[in-house]
Amino acid sequence: MKSILSSAILFAMVICFQPEQAQAQDQDQDRPTNREVGIIVGEPTGFSGKFWTSDRTAIGLGLAWSFGGRGSMHIHGDYLFHHRIEDPDLDFYYGLGARLLMRDDAALGIRIPLGIQYNIPDTNLSAFFELAPMLNLAPATDFDLNGGLGIRYFF
């Protein structure tokens, strides 16, 4: 379990500390940078990051605490597609990813996040709301739902 956590942290650090030239070349003019970090409150509650790979795609990461069941560390990663809604600062997004719950009987599942993100004008902040239906694959197959509100800082 420790090796999985170490790998997830290393992956996030590699993406996070890439030189600006290695970031998306077609950066959206409404975003100050291609990296965001912040918090999400809900199920789970913790840290959230987003790393834009193009004008309309991003990798979303979460390291949080899940209060469901017996409580456990929650790690997820998603590939996200964004679509502009009427307002130039408002995006609808959806994607596909994976979730790992770190507990005695570690749980692995597939996430399908759906959300909206608002890039707050004249600031380096974005606010978002997300729901993520999930199909747990191991140790048992069942359905679950995550969701929350968050705020992230562009850096």
Q: Per residue of the chain (155 residues), give pLDDT as tens.
A: 455 544 445 554 544 444 443 444 444 456 778 999 999 999 999 999 999 999 999 999 999 999 987 889 999 999 999 999 888 899 999 999 999 999 888 999 999 999 999 999 999 999 999 999 999 999 999 999 999 999 999 99
Predicted local confidence at residue 70, as pLDDT: 80
CA–CA gap between residue 91 and residue 26 (Å, rounded): 17
Please give the structure tokens belonging to residue 83.
């679509």
Which domains does the chain carry? 2-12+27-154 (2.40.160.20)
Tokens of 84: 């502009």
pLDDT at residue 18, as a whole number: 47
pTM for this predicted structure: 0.81
Identify whether the C-beta of residue 24 lies closer than 8 Å to the C-beta of residue 32: no
